[in-house]
């Protein structure tokens, strides 16, 4: 996500200390695919287009100077239940990657879920003309009051009883650099992947509650 609401950050800051909850394990490196050539692009498309629901997020190089234009997103993340796919948009493969990303995001048969997606969707539309279909912003649908969006850290704590590490240094790092650091890769992959897992768990709880 590009920027979460201030209240959301305040809510997450009020969680129990990290030592009070077990750490969220996240994905293993072999579960993360960097889409960097024609072979990995085709593999990603094959895996992602067969899913009915995808975890979704983007990352953008932050802007620190007043008046400086934001030219993101620089990375798009899509995840299935078992894998995350990272699409850097700063390489020679950008044009081909955008075609695949557009195909997936504009496909109404595939639901996309993530946290705090307002800026992500706006930037994708303004930069690439991508109009995402069938997208669900979990920050809003899971909010516990009209004033407070649900952040990913708060959701992981609530639904999984775990503490998800979210490094501000990594979140505000240079997402336009190539190659990305390992910390950036894990951060970005887990953001998209955990959104899908949280959504599936939340949906299951709602289904059981309705059936009770």
Per-residue pLDDT of 65-115, as tens digits, reads 776 778 899 999 999 999 999 999 999 999 999 999 999 999 999 999 999
Assess contact for 70 and 184: CB atoms under 8 A: no
63 Cβ neighbours under 8 A, 6+ residues apart: 69, 70
Q: What integer is the mean pLDDT of 171-200?
A: 97
Please give the Cα distance from 85 to 65 (Å, whole number).
31
Pairing of strands 32-34, 75-79: unpaired
Could you state, in order of their start, the residue ranges of all structural domains in the chain? 6-63+70-211
Q: What integer is the mean pLDDT of 13-35?
A: 82
What is the pLDDT, as a whole number, of residue 110?
Answer: 98
Mean pLDDT of the chain: 91
| pLDDT at 35 > cutoff 70 | yes
What is the pLDDT, as a whole number, of residue 9?
Answer: 43
How far from chain centre, in Å, is Cα 180?
16
What is the pLDDT, as a whole number, of residue 56?
Answer: 98
Assess contact for 76 and 96: CB atoms under 8 A: no
| Ramachandran quadrant class, 116 (left: phi over 0; alpha: psi -120 to 50; beta: rest) | left
Q: Which helix (H) or strand (E) holds 79?
A: strand 75-79
Q: What integer is the mean pLDDT of 162-167?
A: 95
Q: What integer is the mean pLDDT of 6-31?
A: 69
Task: Tell me the CA distances in angstroms from 26 to 30, 32, 51, 58, 162, one per residue in order.
Answer: 12, 11, 20, 18, 11
Burial call 39-71: b when 16+ CB within 10 Å, e when fewer: ebbeebbebbeebebbbbbbbbbbeeeeeeeee
Q: What integer is the mean pLDDT of 165-174?
A: 94
What is the pLDDT, as a whole number, of residue 69?
Answer: 79
* CATH architecture of structural domain 6-63+70-211: 2-Layer Sandwich (3.30)
Q: What integer is the mean pLDDT of 10-30?
A: 73
Q: What is the torsion angle, in degrees rounded to the nearest 10, for the CA atoms of residue 88, residue 150, residue 107 and residue 84?
A: 40
What is the pLDDT, as a whole number, of residue 67?
Answer: 67
| pLDDT at 59 > cutoff 70 | yes
Residue with tokens 């997103």: 73
What is the pLDDT, as a whole number, of residue 192?
Answer: 98
Q: What integer is the mean pLDDT of 52-65?
A: 92
Return the ∠ at Cα 80 (arms to 6 and 199), rounded to 5°.
Answer: 45
């Amino acid at each position: 996500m590009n920027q979460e609401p201030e209240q959301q950050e305040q809510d997450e800051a009020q969680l129990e200390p990290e030592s009070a909850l077990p750490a969220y394990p996240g994905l293993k490196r072999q579960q993360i695919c960097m889409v960097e050539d024609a072979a990995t692009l085709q593999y990603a498309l094959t895996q992602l287009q067969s899913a009915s629901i995808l975890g979704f997020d983007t990352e953008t190089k932050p802007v620190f100077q007043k008046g400086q234009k934001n030219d993101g997103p620089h990375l798009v993340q899509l995840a299935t239940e078992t894998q995350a796919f990272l699409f850097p948009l700063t390489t020679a493969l950008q044009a081909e990657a955008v075609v695949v990303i557009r195909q997936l995001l504009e496909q109404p048969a595939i639901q996309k879920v993530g946290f705090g997606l307002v800026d992500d969707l706006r930037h994708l539309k303004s930069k690439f003309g991508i109009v995402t279909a069938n997208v669900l912003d979990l920050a809003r649908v899971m909010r516990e009051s009209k004033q407070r969006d649900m952040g990913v850290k708060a959701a992981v704590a609530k639904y999984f009883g775990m503490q998800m590490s979210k490094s501000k240094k990594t979140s505000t790092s240079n997402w336009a650099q190539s190659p990305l650091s390992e910390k950036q890769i894990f951060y970005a992959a887990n953001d998209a992947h955990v959104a899908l897992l949280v959504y599936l768990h939340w949906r299951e709880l709602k289904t059981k509650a309705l059936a009770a």
